[in-house]
Chains A and B, each alone.
Chain A
Amino acid sequence: MRLPRLPSLHDDRAAFLLVGLLIFLWLIAYNNLQMIADWVTYSLMGLSPVSPLGAALNFFVYDVPKILLLLAGMIFLITLLQTFVDTAKVRAVVERRGEGIGNVMAALFGAITPFCSCSSVPLFIGFVQAGIPLGITFSFLITSPIMNEVAFVMLLGLFGWKVAVLYLVSGILIGVVAGLILGRMKLERYVEPFVYEVRPNQVGHRSLQTKLTWIDRFGQAVDSTRDILSKVWLFVIIGIGIGAFIHGFVPEDALTGIMGENAWWSVPAAVLVGIPLYSNAAGVIPIVSALLGKGAALGTALAFMMSVVALSLPEMIILRKVLKPRLIAIFVTVVALSIIITGYLFNLVI
């Protein structure tokens, strides 16, 4: 599905007015979702709130528009924020810091940058060119895929802000710790040699480069939001559909035995199962959310979700351009272990 393009605007005031109007409509829609869902399922379709079908359908009719609206609004804000991030300045700041603070800053930077071949490979090379230690560069490279904006927004919508913040903080922490460990392992020889050899040869006078206007920024944010939504909306609907079914039909505590806190092997198992599931991150979270209501432990669920978003085949293929297979294997192992430990920690603490 391609969403329609907005009319092109030519001055900032009109752009602000349009964005303001959209935010207003968004707020009205978002605040009336439960009422609409109740009306559709109970009044229009005549289902009982206590019947499994009524509960499942009400859940679906409420959650699908809620999550899609939340995704549209939040991803617009996040991508708008990204237009303010000047990668060259960030690199200059990280360059001046040593191990430790440098890792934290690189991980924070990774959290707001999406992981794709468009940004991650050039940034990796750019960091190495600037002489930034490999461990710090890895803090960026680990947090960037773990912190996925779609996953963050869906956690916010389905689990509440506490779990979303927990995800954010643990994703950054994993990046810092795993980066520090990888930095000590002397892995420089497993980076493709061209990364060290390539030098920027034209500074090119940049007099023609212009400052971004608000229209540019809004336009870019709308474009990115449209791209992301077109990719995930179907998975969101399918995932919430399965989640709704579980919500209505699976008995409570059905999963305590296999995904509960007392099943010690469930965290590593969840991480292993999550690795090949990349493209379904948007579909997986609603299912995990429903499982949580049926006796699964939060740490296990979070570990599963992180491994779904953080480790994937497309990501390995992107990294293969700059890293040798041996280093990719080390990278995957260290990240997977960090996620497993985080899962156990949450199960212990919460």
Chain B
Amino acid sequence: MLQIKVLGSGCQNCKRLEAETRAALDEAGIVYELLKVTEYEDIMTYGILSTPGLVINEQVLAAGRIPRRQQIVDWARQLQTANS
């Protein structure tokens, strides 16, 4: 199962990234587990310089922006096949 992390302290864009990610993956029928990382001590271990950050299977894929749904699904599919 894909492990998704949304990095962000709870700002507007972090909530939107979470909603977009869920919508994209639900639409594509991908099974995942989503975790919100809200403490800066933890966020900054991923080495990003702006939030929100999107992490799938411990890979930082985007920071400081909300990717398009299609892009999120593409990443998820690639990481799914990489794992199996």
Contact = CB atoms under 8 A, between A and B. Distances in A.
A199 B49 contact: no
Contacts of A123: 49-50
Interface residues of B, number: 32
B15 to A, nearest CB: 11
B78 interface: yes
A125 B44 contact: yes
A118 B63 CA distance: 10
A223 B49 contact: no
A115 to B, nearest CB: 12
Contact of B49 (A126, A201, A202, A210): A126
Given A198-B41, A321-B40, A122 B59 contact: no
B13 A220 contact: no
Given A117-B9, A198-B41, A206-B60, A122 B66 contact: no
Contact of A118 (B11, B41, B61): B11
Contact size range, A: 35 or more
A82 B13 CA distance: 16
A121 B9 contact: yes
Given A208-B78, A322-B40, A91 B59 contact: no
B47 A87 contact: no
Interface in A178-225: 194, 198-206, 208-210, 215-216, 219-220, 223
B47 A203 contact: yes
Given A122-B50, A206-B60, A220 B66 contact: yes
Nearest to A8: B68
B68 A122 contact: no
A118 B58 contact: no
A223 to B, nearest CB: 7
Contact of A87 (B14, B50, B67): B50
Interface of B: 8-9, 11-14, 40-41, 43-52, 58-62, 64-68, 71, 75, 78-79
Given A117-B11, A220-B66, A202 B40 contact: no
28 contacts: A83-B65, A87-B64, A91-B49, A118-B8, A118-B13, A121-B9, A123-B49, A125-B44, A194-B40, A198-B41, A198-B45, A200-B47, A202-B45, A202-B46, A202-B58, A204-B59, A204-B60, A205-B59, A206-B60, A208-B59, A208-B75, A209-B62, A210-B71, A216-B67, A219-B68, A223-B66, A227-B12, A321-B40
B58 A122 contact: no
A156 B45 CA distance: 41
Contacts of B67: 216
